[in-house]
Copies of this chain bind each other. A is one copy, B any other.
Amino acid sequence: MEFFQTRTDLAIEAQEIVQGKGVEKEVPGVKVSIEHKEDWELQVIRVEVIDEEGVKAIGKPIGTYITLESPLLKENDIDAHEAFIEIIGKELSELQELSDDGIVLVVGLGNWNVTPDALGPKVFSQLVITRHLLEYMPEQIDESLRSVSGISPGVLGITGMETGEIIQGVVDKIKPDLIIAIDALAARKASRVNTTIQMTNTGVQPGSGVGNKRMGLNEENLGIPVIAIGVPTVIDAATLVNDTMDQLLDTMKVEVKKTGPFYEMLENINKEEKYQLIREILDPYVGSLFVTPKDIDATVDRLAHIIAQGINRSLHPNLEAKDIDRYIH
């Protein structure tokens, strides 16, 4: 099965694309289950890539991908946010078992200078970091707290180093049992931007994220499990044009009921070719344009809060909400 390489970091989108094209309803090697929570206009979608057939089909590694989708994620709705925090906390705990004294390193990926790529650094700044307290003043803190440290190293263009190199160096010193990495992603559909959180136990793949890593942050490279949490905060301009155009042509086709050689040509044109043509038209800006909502600054702040609190709740289950605030500097 040929995989059409439009850029998406979301397993659910990759799966939809493949499914949409094929004859069969199910993609082999991939299991999908969906749970609706109507209170919060929420869908929790579980994509499991079971074997190499699944890997080949949707281009994502073997593992579990949990996706929360709700338009309320980008709204200023604190009741809904509280519900999302609770769900994230629970799902994270289920994605990766961790003993009570397991040590965690959280990594905020991305570039703090580029608003839609600043999600990781912003989550990092709101975590309950405890490793130094447990080490230097154990008598002063709740002994049920887990040892958590964190870092937000910046991107290749800022440091001159692959993020993976830096994290490997830190892992060698700190010897954590688990890494949780947070990253801004690229989506294919405009409607998913800032309304979707993906959590996976497969880590961060090379080439994913807004900032294009060259080296994966995963168990294969780092020797310990890596949970990745991501939110699509941008769609790339070529994808937006491509997909909107397809929808437009479909609409026209229905409306005018006229066809002919040009329409057939449009229908039959190799999708990859059309996408490349669009990229060329946009060039030389294609590499540097992105599409993002006007309120991206405020929305990234909200998403960072939700994810950070979800992580805090998952890692320190005995800490009450108000105590969490006390630990965040």
Where the two chains meet, the residues of A that have a C-beta atom closer than 8 Å to any C-beta of B are 75-79, 113-115, 125, 129-133, 136, 147-154, 156-162, 165-166, 168-174, 190-191, 193, 214, 237, 240-241, 244-245, 247-248, 251-253, 256, 258-263, 265-266, 269, 274, 277-278, 281-282, 285, 287-298, 322, 325-326, 328-329
Contact = CB atoms under 8 A, between A and B. Distances in A.
Given A169-B172, A237-B240, A290 B289 contact: no
B251 A262 contact: no
Contact of A288 (B158, B162, B240, B293): B293
Contact of A265 (B129, B151, B256): B256
Contact of A158 (B113, B129, B190, B289): B129
Nearest to A168: B173
A256 B262 contact: yes
Contact of A132 (B114, B152, B161, B169): B161
Contact of A293 (B130, B161, B285, B298): B285
Number of copies of this protein chain within its complex: 4
Given A244-B282, A277-B248, A151 B153 contact: yes
Contacts of A247: 281
A160 B261 contact: no
B76 A328 contact: yes
A77 to B, nearest CB: 7
6 closest residue pairs by CB, A with B: A260-B260, A169-B169, A262-B263, A149-B160, A131-B160, A258-B261
A129 B149 contact: no
Contacts of A261: 256, 258-260, 263
